[in-house]
Amino acid sequence: MLMRKLLNATILAGLLLATAPAVAQTVGPAGEAATPSAVVALTDADLAALKDKGYKAALLWHTSSDFVNAVTAGAKDEFARAGVEVVVTTDAGFDAARQRSDIETALAAKPNVILALPLDPVTSAEAFRQAVTDGTKLVFLSNVPSGYKHGTDYAAIVTDDLFQMGKQAADALAKSIGGKGKVGWIFHDATYYVTNQRDNAFKTTIEKDYPDIKIVAQQGITDPARAEELASAMLLQNPDLDGIYVTWAEPADGVLAALRAAGNTKTKIVTLDLAEPVGLDMVKGGAVVALVADKAYELGRAMAAAGLKSLLGQDAPAFVVAPALTVTKANVADGWKESLNRDAPQSILDALK
């Protein structure tokens, strides 16, 4: 959610793959093979070895949101099981300079493990260098500082099962239109391995698994504020679209606005990540038929476990992915809880009654 959503191409440069090819499974920023997060688990012996050692942790986040809150909850619960105190939690507000200051503040508390999402790969490489020198175990969410090597500079990268998110979106949209028809594809027009893989997985799945569905319109987007404008143009040229995939929830709200302005009650929408406006439209039987989300709480748990395993001298996988889940009207209450470790917004719960 993200995070990930507002980072612009400049911030992400240097981290990212060249135009991402469609792949059959999620891979890391340097092509690392993915390990399921369930594999990264602390044993009873691990917990016993960690307790009563006075270990400390810091959580250095890029922003504040329901997603970050859920990641934090998962991490704190895992640290608590091991008797590890979280001594610093920060929010950089998407400001790389502020994140550098947060790192300096955290290091003064001498944490043994730091969990963070590096905002700028170049400045982050320098900013986290003292932590590496100090022997602090670093676990990164989705991004990695430039030039950092697994096992030497950081313990693990943890992110979503990106391919599964795109695939599940394709499956959900296909189901909603009866497995045939014309669809539009609104993708993130920036070189960023997270969104590139999710978007391309949707396209690949439609082309491979649904021969009776054709992607007849496509549009890249960088600024969510332009989503309504771009979707209106797409619908003007293709008024008979059966469905539209939108790269994440914020621009999907703009696509919804375009459908409403056109009086379009036919075209279905599938998007990624949970947000109240699109979720409310979904439960009210509107254009949105499914939201595919990550398991944010599980991301935090796996990040903490990877850092603690590294602290014990154990190798953690280089690239770890948490499962994806498809949220529909039928499971929205449970899905929201499973993904974000909180109840769905009251407006959504009220609409379900």
Would you state the pLDDT for residue 126?
A: 94
% of the chain with per-residue pLDDT over 90 = 86
Domain at 162-294+326-352, CATH class: alpha beta
pLDDT at 115 over 80: yes
State the average pLDDT over residues 251-263.
97
For residue 275, give both structure tokens: 């947000």
Lowest mean pLDDT among 14-28, 143-157, 184-198: 14-28
Q: How far apart are CA 353 and CA 350, in angstroms?
A: 5
Contact present, 98 and 92 (Cβ < 8 Å)? yes
Pick left, alpha or beta for residue 111 (phi over 0 → left; psi -120 to 50 → alpha; otherwise beta).
Answer: beta
Local confidence band at 7 (pLDDT 50, 70, 90 cut-offs): very low
DSSP readout, 185-252?
Answer: EEEE-S--HHHHHHHHHHHHHHHHH-TTEEEEEEEEES-GGGHHHHHHHHHHH-TT-SEEEESSHHHH
Q: Name which residue leads in pLDDT, 155 or 193.
A: 155
Average pLDDT, the chain: 92
Would you state the pLDDT for residue 24?
A: 55
DSSP readout, 281-340?
Answer: HHHTTSSEEEEEEE-HHHHHHHHHHHHHHHHTTPPPPSEEEE-EEEE-GGGHHHHHHHHH
Backbone torsions φ then ψ of 163, nearest 5 degrees: -65, -45
Q: Three-state DSSP class for 8?
A: coil
Lowest mean pLDDT among 117-126, 129-138, 162-171, 276-285: 117-126
pLDDT in tens, 309-344: 999 999 999 999 999 999 999 999 999 999 999 999
Local confidence band at 69 (pLDDT 50, 70, 90 cut-offs): very high
pLDDT at 20 over 80: no
How many Cα atoms are found within 13 Å in the side-chain-facing hemisphere of 219? 25
Per-state percent for the chain, helix, strand, coil, to nearest 5: 45, 20, 35
pLDDT at 14 over 70: no
| CATH number for region 2-161+296-322 | 3.40.50.2300
- In angstroms, the Cα distances linking 149 to 115, 161, 170, 188, 255 are 16, 22, 34, 28, 40
Q: What is the pTM of this model?
A: 0.86
State the average pLDDT over residues 109-114.
98
Local confidence band at 94 (pLDDT 50, 70, 90 cut-offs): confident
pLDDT at 16 over 70: no
Local confidence band at 63 (pLDDT 50, 70, 90 cut-offs): confident
Q: Name which residue leads in pLDDT, 20 or 121.
A: 121
Would you state the pLDDT for residue 72?
A: 97
Local confidence band at 53 (pLDDT 50, 70, 90 cut-offs): very high
pLDDT in tens, 137-161: 999 999 999 999 999 999 999 999 9
State the average pLDDT over residues 268-294.
97
Range list for CATH 3.40.50.2300 in the chain: 2-161+296-322, 162-294+326-352
pLDDT at 349 over 50: yes
Would you state the pLDDT for residue 229?
A: 97
